[in-house]
Amino acid sequence: MSDDKKNSGDGINRRELLSLGAAAGLAAGAGAGASPPAAAQSAASFPTLPIAALGDLEPGAELSFEYPDENAPCVLLRLDGPVEGGVGPDQSIVAYSMLCTHKGCPVAYHADQKMLICPCHWSSFDPAKRGRMIIGQASQSLPQITLRVEAGMIEAVGIDGLIYGRHTNIL
Ligand code: FES
């Protein structure tokens, strides 16, 4: 038996112990340096994006945009009446990431069903209920874009939920 094995007393020699310790330190360091999860990102880290003038959005309006960057398609909807998380004079304006939380296919709004529906495996998300999945393969709601009205403009200022395929919303 080597001196190292004698010193540790448990079959692991000193060199192995030092190697394990270094690996654990590296793993901890990597964790500390990684980007924070989306939930931990403060609202201040999101850009402010003007999307449309409030006066231009009739009930039933649908508008595509990208947020928080050009690789993140979203849709803004003016629904028939007040809904959870809605903004505007009648709290009817909402916006969502268009990337399905199942496998990332782009959802489309079906006004006749009042649902955002994924064409790949038919998951349906309710825009009047914070993007909650109603039926389908997905297991999470669609990320909802946080909106505000500022000087007559509807602006995106954050995201509630993680965009499909990302470990953090701000890349
Ligand atoms: S990718 Fe949307 S349901 Fe599968």
Tens place of pLDDT per residue across the chain (171 aa): 444 444 444 444 444 433 443 333 333 334 334 444 545 455 559 999 999 999 999 999 999 999 999 999 999 999 999 999 999 999 999 999 999 999 999 999 999 999 999 999 999 999 999 999 999 999 999 999 999 999 999 999 999 999 999 999 999
Q: How far is 59 from 9, CA to CA, in rounded Å?
A: 76
Question: Which atom of ligand 1 is least distant from the CA of 119?
Answer: 2
**What is the separation of C-alpha 4 from the centre of its chain, rounded to a whole number of angstroms?**
50
Alpha carbon of 126 to ligand 1 centroid (Å): 15
- Looking at residue 171, what is its pLDDT? 92
Contact 95, 86 (CB under 8 A): no
Is the CB of 102 within 6 Å of ligand 1? yes
- CATH architecture of residue range(s) 39-160: 3-layer Sandwich (2.102)
Q: How far is the CA of 159 from the centre of ligand 1 (A)?
A: 20
118 lines ligand 1 (CB under 6 A): yes
Q: What integer pLDDT is reported at residue 43 of this predicted model? A: 55
**CA 114 to chain centroid:** 22
CA distance 149 to 89: 9
| Residue 30 dihedral angles phi and psi, to the nearest 5° | -65, -40
**Whether the Cβ atoms of residue 159 and residue 38 lie closer than 8 Å to each other:** yes
Preceding omega of 68 cis (within 30 degrees of 0): yes
Catalytic sites, residue numbers: 102, 121
Distance 99 CA to ligand 1 centre (A): 9
Sketch the domain layout of the chain as residue ranges.
3-33, 39-160
Taking the CA of residue 118 as reference, the ligand 1 atom at the shortest distance is 2
